[in-house]
Amino acid sequence: MVRVMEALVMVAEQNDIYLGIEPELANIVSSPLKAFELINEMQTDRIKIILDPANLSEKSLPDQIKSIILSALDLLHPFLAMAHAKDRTNSGNFAPPGKGVIPFEFMLNAFAERNLDIPLVAHGFSEKEATGVANYLKSINE
């Protein structure tokens, strides 16, 4: 992976673009710590992170997820480019934001405490759920 990333970083630097890495349990970069280690190893500002707490734990309680979010922010906040709003149920299934255990209001407050002003992209729901998701995210971001 290191050789491939070195080549990608070179292309990114030559073309003034950024590489987006989303730590996810099923990826090679499976945790915030591995994302941080990759950034340190590559020694470039061309790697940015997409934070999606729903991809960092399959089955966790809200307090555990809060800890995961805080740990991720402690390591990665200087490198964050965006966050995803996708939720997960207690059983580990994905759900629309606000219908699971991800504490989005807590996450947005943690962003604000760190002066993080990054896009929040909601996904993982049907078209008919979009209005409810938008209303939920607006209500916790006021």
Q: Is residue 10 part of a domain?
A: no
Say what the alpha-carbon torsion angle 29, 32, 38, 44 is, to the nearest 10 degrees: 130
Percent of the chain past pLDDT 70, that is, above it, reads 100
Token couple for 101: 């255990």
Question: Mind listing the pLDDT tens digit for each residue in 2-43?
Answer: 899 999 999 999 999 999 999 999 999 999 999 999 999 999
Question: Do the strands 80-85 and 120-122 form a parallel or antiparallel pair, or are they unpaired?
Answer: parallel
Residues 6+ apart with CB under 8 A from 127: none
- Average pLDDT on 62-71 reads 93
Closest C-alpha among 35, 27, 116 to residue 72: 35
Q: What is the CATH number of the domain that holds 20?
A: 3.20.20.150
Here the tokens at position 87 are 């939720």
pLDDT > 90 fraction of the chain, expressed in percent and rounded:
87
Residue in 95, 96, 94, 122 with CA at minimum distance from that of residue 108? 122
Domain, as residue range, for 130: 16-140
Q: How many domains does the chain have?
A: 1
Whether 49 and 81 have beta carbons less than 8 Å apart is answered as yes
In this structure, is residue 46 part of a structural domain? yes
Judge whether 7 lies within some domain.
no
Q: What token pair was written down for 70? A: 């805080």
pTM (predicted TM-score): 0.91
Find out whether 55 and 34 touch, Cβ atoms under 8 Å.
no
Least confident range from 24-28, 51-55, 59-63: namely 59-63
pLDDT digits (tens, 9 = 90+) for 90-113: 888 889 999 999 999 999 999 999
Question: 9 in a domain, yes or no?
Answer: no
Residue 6 lies in a domain: no
Give domain status of residue 5, yes or no: no
Which residue, chain included where needed, has tokens 């979010």? Answer: 69
